């Protein structure tokens, strides 16, 4: 089936979607919601996974980040395949691959198999994301797009916010493998519903060749960039702090320079070469992975920049908050999930009302309001965090943050794709999804790096007044940093039982205080990116106003 027409040739109006199209929207939104949920559900279960599988901080980051890294690396390629082979086909295949990865993750008994299973999940998700989003973009046109993307945004923001609650409930009442097992029946039901309801839109490729070089360059560039940010605190930003080995090959600690800046430079060069190569493919009339012409659309360019900055901030928050609630405040996994569910309360409420606000303030104005609320919520949260802050006090700014999340997510996607022609909607949708995934991967990476660096500074200072010797204090601080705070609950239990002696409680209090301070700095880093997103949304609003004015003049 070819892409849906932009308008009825007789009336000039966009074709009215059928009831089956609206049902397809629900199926596609739930399908995407499942993989968004999986990107956040792991967060609250991560302390339990770290303890059960004996992960260090870097491995924990990779459990979270590899999913996003591979999505970022593969989305452009899978978006192109969805345009060529049919978006429905790719959506269903992606669901089946995702289900297989979920099964493997549930059976993992160590870091390696779990990370590999997350990689398989990411491959499935990379098939699902661009094919589902571009189908919605192709089917719903004109006045029907706003409510369609409103539903879309509400499901996405709601899934992201509900993930922590689901993760806490499943982990505490069953066990952490159930956060993956739940995907199996859900994925199979969605696949069956998609076969019945979703139209198989496609964009036939008019140019020859497969852009293999472009796929490799994009994968190397984005993967190397995130690797450098994640591994920097552990391997050293410039001077090597530890050996790095992979497949028998070792970059030694005795090297003149760390592998991190080398990898970072490699990633940046690969991304630049990718852009040059894609422009060359276009000039010689060969099939290209990315149509760079879409960036000439100002709303698309500013919208993607805004989405990237917002994703960095949002996923940084999702990574560090469960660690704070579980390790510093000593809450149960279910308790942490309930506190984090405050985001879902705000997101569901505002996502449902975003369409009404958009009718008054415009989609771009609604995004601005949403991002303003996000920034306010996180700033207040950072100020409130402490070693003994009540979890319910933490929930109050999270509700405000969730309100902003729902408003911004519900309107940003439709605004970014509004001026994109249907025949390149697959590539444009994949590009937007790629930008978001790069942002989410970098968000986890930046949050982990900020937490690691902050812990190396706050922990020794906190332990100074406890009477511990320098060597013992250094050992405790490093163990806490490597475990992402996981040693604190263990030491708290031993202190309460009296196994560590009379000075144990001041030591635990000092570790808790240092960890809370480090989390506060990580949240401030997230806030910086949200502010950058707010600035980008101001530019997006101006670009959208110029676009509408130009359309009216052309009419």
| CATH of the structural domain 19-207+288-457+515-548, one choice from 3.40.640.10, 1.10.760.10, 1.20.1250.20, 2.40.128.20 | 1.20.1250.20
Helix (H, G, I), strand (E, B) or coil at 245: strand
Enumerate the domain spans of the chain.
19-207+288-457+515-548, 208-287, 458-514
> Degrees (nearest 5) of the Cα angle 160, 166, 172?
145
The set of long-range contacts for 21-25, using a CB threshold of 8 Å and a minimum separation of 24, is 21/139, 21/140, 21/199, 23/197, 24/135, 24/139, 24/194, 24/197, 24/198, 24/199, 25/136, 25/139, 25/140, 25/148, 25/151, 25/152
pLDDT tens over the chain, length 555 residues: 334 444 444 444 566 777 888 888 888 888 888 887 776 677 667 777 887 888 776 677 677 667 767 776 777 778 777 777 888 888 999 999 999 999 999 998 888 899 889 989 989 988 887 787 778 777 776 667 666 766 666 666 566 656 666 776 777 787 888 888 989 999 999 999 999 998 887 766 566 767 788 888 888 887 788 778 777 777 888 888 877 776 568 888 888 899 889 999 999 999 999 989 988 888 887 877 777 777 878 888 888 888 888 888 877 887 788 788 888 888 876 777 778 778 777 777 776 676 677 778 777 888 888 899 999 999 999 888 888 888 888 889 988 988 888 788 767 777 777 777 766 666 676 677 667 767 776 777 778 778 878 887 777 777 776 666 667 777 777 777 766 666 777 777 776 666 555 666 777 778 888 888 888 888 998 899 999 989 988 888 888 777 776 666 655
- pTM score, whole prediction: 0.72
Cα distances (Å, whole numbers) of residue 294 to 74, 87, 136, 427, 439: 19, 20, 18, 9, 19
- Rounded-to-integer distance, Cα 170 and Cα 155, Å: 21
């Amino acid at each position: 089936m070819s892409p849906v027409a932009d308008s009825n040739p007789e009336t000039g109006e966009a074709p009215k979607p059928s009831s089956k199209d609206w049902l397809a929207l629900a199926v596609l939104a739930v399908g995407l919601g499942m993989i968004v949920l999986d990107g956040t559900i792991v967060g609250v279960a991560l302390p339990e996974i770290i303890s059960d599988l004996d992960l260090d901080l870097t491995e924990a980051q990779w459990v979270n980040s590899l999913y996003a890294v591979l999505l970022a690396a593969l989305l452009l390629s899978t978006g192109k395949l969805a345009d060529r082979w049919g978006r429905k086909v790719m959506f269903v295949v992606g669901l089946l691959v995702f289900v297989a990865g979920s099964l493997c993750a549930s059976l993992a008994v160590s870091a390696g198999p779990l990370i590999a299973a997350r990689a398989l999940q990411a491959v499935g998700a990379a098939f699902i994301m661009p094919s589902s989003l571009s189908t919605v973009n192709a089917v719903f046109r004109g006045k029907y797009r706003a409510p369609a993307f409103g539903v879309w945004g509400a499901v996405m923001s709601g899934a992201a916010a509900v993930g922590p609650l689901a993760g806490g409930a499943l982990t505490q009442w069953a066990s952490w493998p159930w956060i993956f097992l739940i995907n199996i029946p859900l994925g199979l039901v969605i696949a069956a519903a998609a076969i019945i309801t979703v139209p198989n839109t496609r964009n036939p490729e008019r140019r020859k060749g497969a852009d293999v070089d472009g796929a490799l360059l994009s994968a190397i560039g984005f993967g190397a960039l995130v690797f450098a940010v994640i591994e920097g605190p552990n391997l050293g930003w410039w001077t090597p702090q530890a050996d790095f080995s992979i497949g028998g090959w070792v970059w030694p600690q005795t090297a003149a320079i760390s592998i991190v800046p080398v990898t970072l430079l490699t990633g940046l060069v690969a991304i630049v070469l990718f852009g040059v190569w894609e422009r060359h493919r276009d000039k010689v009339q060969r099939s290209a992975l990315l149509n760079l012409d879409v960036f000439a659309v100002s709303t698309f360019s500013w919208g993607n920049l805004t989405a990237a900055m917002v994703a960095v901030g949002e996923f940084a928050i999702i990574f560090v908050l469960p660690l704070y609630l579980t390790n510093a405040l000593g809450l149960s996994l279910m308790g942490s999930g309930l506190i984090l569910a405050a985001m879902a309360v705000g997101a569901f409420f505002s996502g449902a009302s975003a369409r009404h606000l958009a009718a008054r303030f415009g989609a771009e104005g609604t995004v601005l309001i949403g991002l303003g609320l996000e920034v306010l919520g996180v700033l207040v949260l950072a100020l409130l965090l402490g070693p003994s802050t009540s979890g319910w006090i933490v929930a109050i700014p999270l509700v405000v943050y969730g309100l902003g999340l729902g408003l911004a997510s519900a309107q940003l996607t439709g605004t970014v794709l509004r001026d994109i022609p249907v025949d390149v909607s697959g590539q444009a949708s994949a590009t937007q999804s790629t930008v978001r995934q790069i942002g989410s991967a970098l968000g986890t990476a930046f949050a982990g790096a900020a937490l690691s660096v902050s812990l190396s500074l706050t922990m020794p200072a906190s332990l100074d007044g406890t009477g511990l010797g320098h060597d013992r204090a250094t050992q405790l601080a490093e163990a806490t940093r490597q475990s992402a705070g996981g040693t604190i609950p263990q030491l708290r239990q031993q202190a309460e039982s009296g196994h560590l002696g009379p000075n144990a409680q001041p030591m635990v209090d000092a570790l808790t205080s240092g960890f809370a301070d480090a989390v506060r700095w990580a949240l401030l880093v997230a806030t910086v990116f949200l502010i950058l997103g707010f600035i980008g949304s101001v530019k997006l609003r101006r670009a959208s106003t110029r676009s509408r004015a130009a359309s009216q003049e052309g009419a």
